[in-house]
Structure 1
Amino acid sequence: MAWLTSNWQLKVLALLLSLGLFTGIAFSQNPFTVSPVDAKVEWNNPPADLILTSYPQKVRVTIFGLTDQVNAAKVNNGVVASVDLSGIKKPGQQIQVFAVPKTPQGITANENRVPFYVDVELKKDAEVQVKPRVRYAPGWQPVKETVTPGIVHVVSTESFIKDLQAYVTAPSASPVQGNSIIPNLDITFEKAGKPVTLPVTLPRSTADAAIATLDIQAQQPNQSRKTTLVETPTGNPAAGYRITAVIINPLFIDVSGPAGTIAGLDSITLPPVGVDGATGDVTQRVQVPLPAGVSTDPKNNTALVTVRIQKNPAVQPSPSP
């Protein structure tokens, strides 16, 4: 009996030695290891009306496990650090909370602190201005400058929104003459006279427009001058009658308008007065047709035209030789 018990113990000992030897060989090929890894930060339960700034995308944690599992976790970015923001109730200076790692099975990791800032989330309707001022060619002056969209809606931190301005840059290649539409102008944000860009925040800072169109309307300053009214009757008087004169009252009127239009406006032709078949004077008041952009005193909007018609003088026969 003692011999059997002794043999049984020897068999168990041999088995244990075999398992130990096998385990030793296995762990010599795939030992436990400790390694630092940059874990992607996962932000959960963000507070309403608050916004995160200067927050890290990744945090360094230390993971522990078998070498094969650790290497696989590092290659596949299998470690995530979860941050619970539900306890953040108000903005303040730098805040630090623990990031809880999420690891693949068989891997353990330590917690680490994650620093970030919290600000108030605000919205602003920023009017899009034009900078620098549009240059106009000599003799031209602005009528209207319109930016579309004229308002850009911005959502970001309180510190960024404060004193924020938006503008488009007017082209400076050549001075403006007449009307011009300039599309695809970048909208630039500015604070204290310096260009700024939307900050990186969580939730993301946004602006609902990035480009705009500038519509420029310009005209030459109005000038005044005196111009002549001209009338050309239409038709023919009755047989034996002829036109002897055309009287226009007033003959000259003062007109005002853009310099380029007024400069060549030496005369204005009135609507024709019909004299077909007439045997006497024809008098008619007609409208003065002013060119586009040209104006005159309201009392000169019409002119009185009189066409003098007389009978042809009798032709005396030639004396006989």
Structure 2
Amino acid sequence: MNGNHRRPSRRQAARQVLGGILRSLRQHWAQATFSLLAAFAIWFVVQDVENPRVSVTFPEEGQPPSIVVTAENAGPYIVRENYSVRVVAEGRADDLAALTPADFEARVDVRGMQPGVEELRQVRVTSRRPGVRVLQVIPSQVRITLVEPATRELPVTIRRSGQLPAGFREDEAATTVEPAVVKITGLPERVQAVQSVDLDVNLSGVIDQAYVVTGELVARSATGTVETVTISPPRATATIRIGQAFVQRTLPVIADISGAPATGYRIASITIDPPAVTVSGERSVVNELTALSTEKIDVTGARAELRLVRNLVAVPNLSVERRSVTVVVKFEPIDVAATLTVAPELQNLPAGFARDPSRPLAVEVRVTGPADLVAVLKPSDIKAVVSLAGATAGTAAYPVTVTGPSGLKLEAPATVTVSLIQVLP
């Protein structure tokens, strides 16, 4: 090996490789160019076979036109009617199968038109989808009338739907919406028909203390119909303040009694089972309550026990653990007192004696018992007996025994003074 031979550097080696490639390309450029062109030709043939270019009507016949026409150069005016068209489009079958109205832009130039004067104007439609070409616009012309728009300012209304979870409520006084006022512009009759500009908010399941919602504004008539007008700005943000107002308490139950028991009777006791019920609801409602009431219970003419199931009187916005209770009303006679003067019956009068007729003889009896019995009681119904066994002439006290109808309590003096005189045989 020659000791003076040197190995080429990396740079020199790279230059040698690149030079070889360039020489090969110069020698075979015709073949490379032909191969490339052939590949493109084969690709186009495959595309035309598997995904050919075709033309379709969009939207297809039978469907309403859905490519909305936008007016250009209208200045301060707006178009009275909205127009939509359909097109005949050409493109690959796969592209045409996925067409949407947003793939096209339809415009009509209204430059120079005077408001209130109808004119026929040409519609131009261009495709936004690469590879799709518009061949025809149907209809190619539309009748346009310009009008001067009307303008109003209206406050933004929060249109709520859905229910907050139990125990939560909205503090509407603290709820805000931004912007608070918007401007609507459009056809005079439509602007006039707008009753409210709404931000739709669904509150279902919301428990956030500050629930923030941003959305598109909607103009509605008094009947709820959506009116087509321009809203500026078109969006608003509401901050809805929500608080937990749910509390629980156990409240006593009271019976609502009406009417009066039978004469001589009164209510002895009222028992309610259960005597108390747990309620839940908004704090302001629950805190105002001191008790729950049953439906009315009429005791008119009653003297026997009443056992009834009665519903609790419903309280708005309040939930109760049970709807009814059992009520037992018991009655008892009313005791009254009366004093009757009774002529006593003398028994065991000794022979040869008689009562002194100049001295009156009577027994005061105090009667206590049910009013209905006392009310009909007569002195003759009370029997007072004085025993004169062993009596002597003159005035003396003798024991007296008083009896009367059952159910009554009788009170009388233990003795009565009797004057006896001796009679001749």
Per the normalisation by structure 1, the TM-score is 0.40
Q: Larger RCO: Structure 1 or Structure 2 (Cα < 8 Å, ≥ 6 residues apart)? A: 1
Which one has the largest radius of gyration? 2
